[in-house]
Amino acid sequence: MIYDFFFKLTGSNFLADVIQSLLPLFIFILPFALFAVLFERKVSAHMQDRLGPMRVGYHGILQTIADILKLIQKEDIIPTLADKPLFNIAPVLVFAGSYAAFAAIPFSSAFIGSNIDLGVIFIIAASGFVVAGILMAGWSSNNKYSLLGAMRSAAQIISYEIPTVLVVLSIIMITGTTNLLTLSEMQTGHFWNWMIFGGPQMGLAKFIFIPIMIINFVIIYISTLAEVNRTPFDIPEAESELVSGYHTEYSGMKFAMFFLSEYANMFAVSAIVTALFLGGYQSPVGYLGNLFGAHWLIPIEQFFWFTAKGIFFVFVQMWLRWTLPRLRVDQLMALCWKYLIPIAFVNLLIIGLITVL
Amino acid sequence: MNIYDIVFYLFAAITVLSAFFVVTTRNIVYSAYYLLFTFFGVAGIYVLLGADFIAMVQLIVYVGGILILILFGVMLTNKITSVEIKTGSVQVVPAAVGVALLAGILMASMVDTKWRSVETAMPSATTQGIGMLLIQQYAIVFELLGILLLIALIGAASMARK
């Protein structure tokens, strides 16, 4: 484990804890956000038959760094009638909420921020802080568009949390664990042991599980997409009606924090879907480390597979964003309450019956 | 004083201070947000006591549910900033007597109880134990609570339809 390594290196529990908890931020979220912003612009550009940013560096690969340098120099504007303390705390609260989720994400068998027993439930609990932060940002801006965007966002996140939790519950019922590391370890072997293909056990139950699991996967993907406020569920930011929702009044680094937490959230929900359904950090075909007898290679390969699956789902989110139109508020609520929740309940019932029998 | 003590005092300070501000502040939105930190501090203390499941449920139910509902209610109300919340002191003598009585009872029960303090290395996970208790020893209570929540749900839905 990486913790033991840092413990040996520094010789103190406290320092090892601090380094371990900062690791996902510095080696993962910041580089990922740099990459993802450029990736999003390139994906959108190529989908619309454009080239996207081309000027800074080869095919614009340094564009995001230039943008960040610009954002750092920007003046930090606080509206006169805004509620200053809440206005300043809100971006921090939103980012803290989305960063907290990374504590329980198993990047590889050697690295998980904190191997807590209630990993999945912790991630769901941490998203409550994001909602509170978004409401705080919307209210303190003293702007009706911000407030409307924040209310829509909070209503949407709370509604779509229900199908997410129902699907997570069905996974917990099958595997009997809420620990994401154990859950990933259970799906070891080849890709037919992943939860989306019915889980690790063989027999009749596996074949009944396969269609249910694929439906569950689609439900959780749609509802997590809504929880991160991405198109087609981006009515909180609907730029044609609300300017840009709850971060309309933010500028400079505070805006950058919202941006960072949006991309961190995108990866976090992809990582949850990956860990629950697609074997987490497990390789679909086996490890090079086993082939060559180099066992130190396996955690690195696992890290590669985990980020590859996560980034693939981030790519699908971007793909959907530039393909589908935005949903109306009533359509959004109808999709959640009339379709996703009943289907998730039926699936939960069937899975419960099968696991009892 | 090891690191756990420091973390405990940190969470305790967050809980007590924010709870104090919840009742003293005049702005209703501020008191809702101070409540967020109170819930957070209480959840932290639960974790330090080894009650991981209760801590998570505390966050989901109180921060993710009740607090967001309060904020919704507050923000949907017209002219929230101009609402005068009475935070002055009235009826000082009866209040003082009541508070003194409550504090006395609490202090007495704290001093008299023989607290079991066991030196444990690392608290183990509690989810499985809680689940077993709920479906074996307390099965009837658990089911009754479920029915109660269902009644509340149906009642809320039927009131909303009118």
pLDDT tens string A225-276: 888 877 787 777 777 777 777 777 787 788 888 888 888 888 888 888 888 8
- B30 vs chain A: nearest CA distance in angstroms? 8
Residue A316 has pLDDT above 80, yes or no: yes
pLDDT of B145: 92
**Cβ <8 Å between A125 and B75:** no
Closest CA to A136 of A264, A250, A262, A251: A250
Which ranges of chain B have pLDDT less than 70? 1, 78-88, 117-123
CATH topology of domain B1-80: Four Helix Bundle (Hemerythrin (Met), subunit A) (1.20.120)
Q: Which of the 8 DSSP states describes residue A60?
A: G
**Cβ <8 Å between A118 and B56:** yes
* Residues on chain B touching A125 (C-beta within 8 angstroms): 56, 59-60, 63-64
User: Residue A252: which H helix or E strand, with range?
Assistant: helix A252-277
Map out the domains of chain B as residue ranges: 1-80, 127-162
Q: What is the largest CA-CA distance in chain A?
A: 66
Say whether A106 sits in a helix, a strand or coil. strand
**Cβ <8 Å between A118 and B36:** no
pLDDT of B100: 93
pLDDT of B152: 93
pLDDT tens string B102-134: 999 999 988 888 777 666 666 677 778 888 888
What ipTM was estimated for this complex? Answer: 0.79
In the block, residue with structure tokens 């989901």: B60
CA separation for the pair B82, B75 (Å, rounded): 12
CA separation for the pair A195, A277 (Å, rounded): 5
Residue A311 has pLDDT above 80, yes or no: yes
* Residues on chain A touching B36 (C-beta within 8 angstroms): 129, 132
- A125 vs chain B: nearest CA distance in angstroms? 5
Say whether A14 sits in a helix, a strand or coil. helix
Q: How far is CA A314 from CA A191, A259, A268, A303, A318, in A?
A: 20, 15, 10, 16, 6
pLDDT tens string A98-107: 888 888 888 8
pLDDT of B15: 92
pLDDT of B147: 94
Q: Which of B61, B127, B130 to mutate to test the interface with A (most CBs of A within 10 A)?
A: B127
CA separation for the pair A131, A154 (Å, rounded): 6
Q: Average pLDDT over chain A, rounded to whole?
A: 81
> What are the beta bridge partners of residue B48?
none
- Residue B36 contacts A, CB cutoff 8 Å: yes
pLDDT of B84: 61
Q: Which of A88, A93, A135 to mutate to test the interface with B (most CBs of B within 10 A)?
A: A135
According to the 3-state scheme, what is the secondary structure of B2-48?
A: CHHHHHHHHHHHHHHHHHHHHHHCCCHHHHHHHHHHHHHHHHHHHHH
Q: Which of A118, A157, A175, A180 to mutate to test the interface with B (most CBs of B within 10 A)?
A: A118
Pull the structure tokens for residue A180. Answer: 């994401």
Closest CA to B34 of B56, B15, B47, B62: B15
What pTM was computed for the model?
0.83
Average pLDDT rounded to a whole number, residues A164-193:
82
The answer to whether residues A105 and A302 touch, using CB atoms and an 8 Å cutoff, is no
**Cβ <8 Å between A116 and B52:** yes
- The contact set of A with B (CB < 8 A) is 13-14, 83, 86, 116-118, 121-122, 124-129, 131-132, 135-136, 139, 147, 151, 154-155, 158, 161, 178
pLDDT of B1: 66
pLDDT tens string A78-115: 778 777 888 888 888 888 888 888 888 888 777 777 77
pLDDT of B104: 93
pLDDT of B146: 92
Query: What amino acid occupies position A294?
Result: A
pLDDT of B149: 92
Closest CA to A181 of A265, A307, A281: A281
pLDDT of A303: 83
